[in-house]
Chain A
């Protein structure tokens, strides 16, 4: 007897917000999915996506660390909310480096 099947399964999406008792946002975590293989013969494009994802991952990691450290101090709101998130590779690189420098200074 032949076997037929279709693809399917479970996927997870999540969100999390850390706040003080009086409701002030300390930081909103970011949920990111690694890029899926595009299904074409385009390794270079996929590697570029992976690089962008890697930068984005570090940006959000450092953003959350910075916001947690500065929980009682005013910082740009984008570091607490994660929005707007940098879009281009250059923006990501610049923001990630800026955050790294801010973290070294604090």
Chain B
């Protein structure tokens, strides 16, 4: 299982709408992914297999803020601690919008993360807006 991460075209569209002042919502939710995980830009909110188990299902992230990677406030930083309420195998996680219908970005782990009840998974995702990004 290769470790991969990606922003999504669905997220680009949502970000463009936000810049244009059209109906769109900001980064807010976070969810663990199970069963299968492929990170590429064609992934969508509906297309990922979201965990529904207690503690790792879709929730508002603990913290969403801007931070500096290269220049001040060029990065959206999402931090969250999942606490498993039951046994679950997590393959990655995704960051979604406030309306919970757009996947901004996702990552897939190097290998399965076998969580037992009360285990924690501390995650951080940084989405940098940058010149020359690929």
Contact = CB atoms under 8 A, between A and B. Distances in A.
Is A bound to B? Answer: yes
Interface centre among B1, B69, B107, B112 (most CB of A within 10 A): B107
Interface of A: 6-21, 26-27, 29-32, 36, 57, 60-65, 68, 71
14 contacts: A6-B131, A8-B129, A10-B15, A10-B129, A11-B128, A14-B125, A16-B93, A29-B110, A30-B110, A57-B110, A61-B3, A62-B111, A65-B112, A68-B114
Interface of B: 1-3, 5-7, 11-12, 15, 69, 83, 93, 105, 107, 109-115, 118-134
A12 B3 contact: no
A65 B2 CA distance: 12
A8 B124 contact: no
Where chain B touches its partner, the secondary structure class is strand
Given A14-B107, A64-B110, 16 more contacts: A8-B129, A8-B133, A9-B134, A10-B15, A11-B130, A12-B7, A12-B107, A13-B125, A13-B126, A17-B122, A18-B119, A21-B120, A30-B3, A31-B3, A32-B3, A64-B113
A17 B82 CA distance: 10
A16 B130 CA distance: 23
A103 B133 CA distance: 38
B119 A20 contact: yes
Contacts of B12: 10
Contacts of A57: 2-3, 110
Given A19-B122, A21-B120, A12 B6 contact: yes
Contact of B130 (A8, A18, A30, A63): A8
